[in-house]
Amino acid sequence: MSAVATGERLLAGPTAWVAESLAEHRRRLGAAPAGNQVLEAIEVAGLRGRGGAEFPAGPKWRAVAGRRGTPVVLVNGAEADPLSLKDRTLLVMRPHLVWDGTLAAAEVLGAAEVVVYIGRDHADARQAMAAAMAERRASGDIVRRVSIRFVAAPASYVAGEETAAVRVAGGGPPLPTFRPPRPFERGVRGRPTLVHNVETLAAAALAGRGAGATTRLFTLGGAVGRPGVTEAPIAASLGELLERAGADRSSAAVLVGGCSGTWVPLLQGRELGLDQLGAGCGSVHVMEPGRCGLAVTAGILAFLAEQSAGQCGPCRVGLPAVARVLHRVALGGARADDGRLLSRWASQLSGRRGACAHPDGAARVLASALRVFADDLRRHLHRGPCPGALDG
Amino acid sequence: MADAARGRRISYRLRVNPIRCDGSGLCAELVPERIRLDDWGYPVADPTPLGPDLLPLAERAVRDCPRLALLLEIQGRER
């Protein structure tokens, strides 16, 4: 793996599953950079969001700054994808790095409020962030003119979507809204709101110290010898990450980018860069050898269908339909036309059919499954389920 | 400079608010050139800008949508 100076890494420093103390953090990285320094640095570095959408961070800060009204900074640590652990890891181990980025944003935008939005079930992450703030206050590190509020993110897939997060932070339900208005125009309680994934804010804090924001966090899982969170260059190849994970070489495919990500064949995909593949939430999940990719994808589609907010027709009706047909293709009862039906639905569900990108995500994982498991699909349609679909 | 000049030319396209839409299908009847229905009866809007021939029909579809779920989005104008 190409060398990256340790000072430029998010998880450089102690390796224990506990928060790095404020004293240690400051000794290792020096004082927190000023807000305008961070803003300039993320623009130079071309920092992009690490929550999945990969929107450029600099323009987002500028957009919020350009609005009337007192901004809010929403720190998004909902991490609702069951295949991702990197946000929790970062919050537990490096809360001060996340705070540095958050407070820099609040300072340069003149925000009156910071909302820390962390998964309801991620108590250790929430505690680490709260303890780190208490530590700052106790050390005389006064956080002026900004109130800090912790809000529990409901344990649903779409609760991490930015407009749903904004709504929960305003006391509403975890349901996405139609755009416009976008959060930077009208966010928490109508205020212009900067919503960033926690890793984006931590990367901003490093960038403000002169680092290049050249690495990101990946969650390695599935059929791997070394599961867990790892840090690698943004453009690392899939092969490098699989090597690091100790991936089972007899596996057929890898799911990159979480439950709404993209299937990549293990044999042909190794040379591809994670940046080209679209790392999404940064999850790299290796399929168990011998398992049937169609059956695994049917399970994912059932999950995504169940997690739909149910607000938009294509998602509410289309996702269960896809899940049903994929289930019968994978496990028995397929009809001759099912392959064509699934391809048509993959295309019908993509292209912003919902208020949020949930249907697009479902369409993406479906389309990639139809591509990567095309041979399996043909066999299933002609001869019924394979052994790998029926066990496990 | 050329971009800025092009950017000032206004164009319109249809967009669906999927939260409001209940799939009445009226828009697809009025502007089939830009709206088709998916397999579940929900409209898929073609983002191609509307020419002067289609604009009046599109405006009518926006007005007549029983759920007020159809929007004319203005493109290429400074915010």
Whether B25 contacts chain A with CB within 8 A = no
Residue A321's region, left for phi above 0, alpha for psi from -120 to 50, else beta, is: alpha
Q: Which residues of A293-320 are buried (b: 16+ CB within 10 A; e: fewer)?
A: bbbbbbbbbbebbebbbebbbbbbbbbb
Q: Count contacts between A and B (CB, < 8 Å).
A: 44
Note whether B21 contacts A344, CB cutoff 8 Å: no
Note whether B42 contacts A314, CB cutoff 8 Å: yes
Give the nearest partner residue to B18 out of A314, A321, A348, using CB atoms.
A314
Give the pLDDT of residue A4: 53
> What ipTM goes with this model?
0.90
Mean pLDDT by 10 residues, chain A (392 residues): 61 92 95 95 96 92 96 98 97 98 97 97 98 93 85 96 98 97 97 98 96 93 97 95 96 96 93 90 96 97 98 98 98 95 98 96 98 97 90 62
Is residue B79 predicted with pLDDT exceeding 50?
Answer: no
User: Percent of chain B beyond pLDDT 70?
Assistant: 85
Give the nearest partner residue to A317 out of B17, B19, B40, using CB atoms.
B40
Note whether A178 contacts B40, CB cutoff 8 Å: no
Quick one: B53 exposed, middle or buried, by C-beta within 10 A (0-12, 13-18, 19+)?
A: exposed
Give the pLDDT of residue B2: 46
Nearest residue in chain B measured CA to CA from A341? B39
Q: How far is B67 from chain A (nearest CA, A)?
A: 13
Interface test with A, best of B35, B40, B77 (most A CBs within 10 A): B40
Query: What is the SS3 assignment for A196?
Result: strand
Note whether A178 contacts B38, CB cutoff 8 Å: no
Are A364 and A375 in contact by the 8 Å Cβ rule? The answer is no
Q: How far is B57 from chain A (nearest CA, A)?
A: 22
Note whether A313 contacts B40, CB cutoff 8 Å: yes
Give the pLDDT of residue A1: 38
Are A91 and A153 in contact by the 8 Å Cβ rule? The answer is no
Is residue B4 predicted with pLDDT exceeding 90?
Answer: no
C-alpha to C-alpha distance for A150 and A118, rounded to whole angstroms: 8
Tokens 């809007």 -> residue:
B45
Interface of A with B (CB under 8 A): 177-178, 311-315, 317-318, 321, 344-345, 348, 351, 353-355
Tokens 């369409």 -> residue:
A363
Q: How far is B17 from chain A (nearest CA, A)?
A: 7
Using 50, 70 and 90 to split pLDDT, how confident is the model at B6? low
Residues of B in contact with A354 (CB under 8 A): 18
Residues of A in contact with B17 (CB under 8 A): 178, 355
Whether B73 contacts chain A with CB within 8 A = no
CA atoms within 13 A on the CB side of B76: 14
Residue A314 vs residues A105, A175, A300: alpha-carbon distances, Å: 37, 16, 17
Nearest residue in chain A measured CA to CA from B19? A312
Are A93 and A9 in contact by the 8 Å Cβ rule? The answer is no
Nearest residue in chain B measured CA to CA from A345? B39
Q: What is the pLDDT of residues B32-60, one digit of tens each?
A: 999 999 999 999 999 999 999 999 999 99
Q: Mean pLDDT over all residues of chain B?
A: 89
Mean pLDDT to the nearest integer, B1-29 = 82
pTM (predicted TM-score): 0.94
Interface test with A, best of B14, B15, B19 (most A CBs within 10 A): B19
CA B21 from chain centre, in angstroms, equals 13
Amino acid at A180: P
Note whether B18 contacts A353, CB cutoff 8 Å: yes
Residues of B in contact with A177 (CB under 8 A): 19
Q: Domains of chain B by range and CATH?
A: 8-78 (3.30.70.20)
